[in-house]
Structure 1
Amino acid sequence: MTVTFGEEITLLSLDDQSGAVRERQACQWAVAGGIVLELVLAGRVTVDDGRITVADTAPTGVRLLDDRLGMIDAWAAGKRRPPKVTEWLTKDKGKALDAALESLAERGLVGREQRTVLGMFPVRRFPETDGTVERALRARLEDVVLRGAEPDDRSAGLVALLHGAKLHRLAFPDLPRREVAPRMREISEGQWAGASVRKAIREMEAAMTAVALVTMRS
């Protein structure tokens, strides 16, 4: 099963028992950024000098990505120049996380529960129903970050998103940030991939870093 960057970050964020999203504010930025990076690597959008442009509106076949592609295309169409990718992330962050949660539920990786808090406030939870994908994901992250394995494009992209959004604890909850951040930064800045992939990852990591600073100050 192929799981998108946005879904992977969402899986890492979910508490396995309660189904609540941890570090929601930072996570929603990272999920929105992960969807954009996925579209960049699929050749559907470009991000250059922090600005986003739709290059190809052909469907990818993944609803989570295709819905966002259509939204970005419609949103950017009325702009005089390519808009900043951080503007899109600001606009889409909450909706992107909800869409990733629904996508995981449709795939059968999480369940859906709705509870009422204090008798009046509805709260949705997404408890894990199939832990195999998350376990494989965490094993992959451990291989490249803790054991020094050579990252592939997707592993490096995920690490860069997590590092840029300061979500080290989601990936490695039992380790202090200082033990994993240097290696995650090394992977993000590495020369292991082709130039176009490196550029895409660095553009999105820069966007994540920018919005992480806003999140920390708010």
Structure 2
Amino acid sequence: MAVTLAEEIMLLSLDDESGSAKQRQAAGWAVAGGILLELVLAGRVAVRGKHLELVDATPTGDPLLDGRTALIARWLGARGRRRVTDWLTKDQAKAVSATLERLCARGVVVEERRMALGMFPIRRYPEAVGVVERELRDRLRGVVLAGAEPDTRTAGLIGLIHATKLHRLAFPEGPARQIASRMEEVATGQWAAESVRSALRDMQAAMAAVTLITVVTAAG
């Protein structure tokens, strides 16, 4: 199966040389959101308003997605639906670890472990295969900078990046306002079925809410 939206966001977050994650907390929200949107596109979950529902537990064949589907099923239990923000808050950190593990399994990055000051374990994930990220960045540049029409998954990815304000991970250089404006245009465009676009809008609202809570808590 192709690299997932969550894995693409993780690749944008990882420094190519050091393998350390940039803007890790915000990227974590986007990674968790990327898994959810991927499951929406696959018809496994639905995001309606503030709530998440399981639609179909049939395996997709991708370990990352199928693992999350099973976790969501257990988390929902007999309730049938729960708040999207609650799931994102619960899954944010774990989603990052699961996504990194999947990238390692694919051979796209490698895990390096060392001790800082002889006491603190540190993990880094430098790239092993750079072509995946290069193709990803080329695709994003084509849509955002060159005005190409996005396919469904690329538009969804751009919507997630825009919602979590990770523009600089995708475009370290370039006109910030123009990039943000184009991302907003893509995120709100007619690039997929209304049910998918509605799910992304609801997820963007949820991620904006949890991101704001994180910022306020950190400031306090």
TM-score range, shorter chain: over 0.9
1:208: Cα distance to partner? 2.1
Matched, 1:155 2:161: no
Counterpart in 1 of 2:145?
A: 146
Checking the alignment, whether the CA contact within 8 Å between 1:44 and 1:69 is kept in structure 2 is: yes
**Which SS does the other structure have where 1:83 is aligned?**
strand
Distance 1:31 1:143 in 2: 22
| CA-to-aligned-CA distance 1:14-46 (integer Å, 9 cap, x gap) | 000110011001011110010011001100001
Change in CA separation of 1:120 and 1:78 when aligned onto 2, cut-off 3 Å: farther
Distance 1:211 1:67 in 2: 23
TM-align CA RMSD: 1.2
1:78: Cα distance to partner? 4.4
Matched, 1:32 2:38: no
Checking the alignment, whether the CA contact within 8 Å between 2:50 and 2:202 is kept in structure 1 is: yes
With normalisation by structure 2, the TM-score equals 0.95
Distance 2:116 2:190 in 1: 49
Letter in 2 for 1:21: A
Which structure 2 segments of 5+ residues have no match?
none
Distance 1:93 1:192 in 2: 27
Letter in 2 for 1:82: R
Distance 1:70 1:177 in 2: 39
Identical columns (%): 57
Distance 1:128 1:68 in 2: 24
| CA-to-aligned-CA distance 1:103-133 (integer Å, 9 cap, x gap) | 0011000011001001100011100110101
Matched, 1:178 2:177: yes
Note the 1:1-218 alignment, pairs <5 A: 2-79=2-79, 82-217=81-216, 218=218
Checking the alignment, whether the CA contact within 8 Å between 2:143 and 2:150 is kept in structure 1 is: yes
Distance 1:38 1:161 in 2: 11
Checking the alignment, whether the CA contact within 8 Å between 1:164 and 1:212 is kept in structure 2 is: no
Distance 1:90 1:176 in 2: 32
The number of aligned residues is: 217
